[in-house]
Amino acid sequence: MYLRKLTEDRFITVDCYTDGIFQTLKGRVHKLNPIDQILSLKDENHRVFSIPLSGIRDIY
């Protein structure tokens, strides 16, 4: 279910824990690194956020 949402070429919203803080991030998938288990999102201002896959709580 999550991988299907990650492959779509549109903005997604991710609820996640990063550095112990719950955040809601919105952006397009910039890069998915399954070896290091990191998802990179690029927002509308072209900032890149790295999210560990274990910290993701919901994708919509």
With tokens 């290091």, the residue in question is: 36
Angle value at C-alpha 49, between 48 and 54, nearest 5 degrees: 150
Tell me the per-residue pLDDT of 21-50, one tens digit each, with 9 for 90 and over.
999 999 999 988 889 999 999 999 999 999
Query: Can you say how many angstroms the Cα of residue 32 is from the centroid of all Cα atoms in its chain?
Result: 9
Residue 2: pLDDT band with limits 50, 70, 90: low
pTM of the model: 0.80
Left (φ > 0), alpha (ψ -120 to 50) or beta: where does 40 sit?
beta
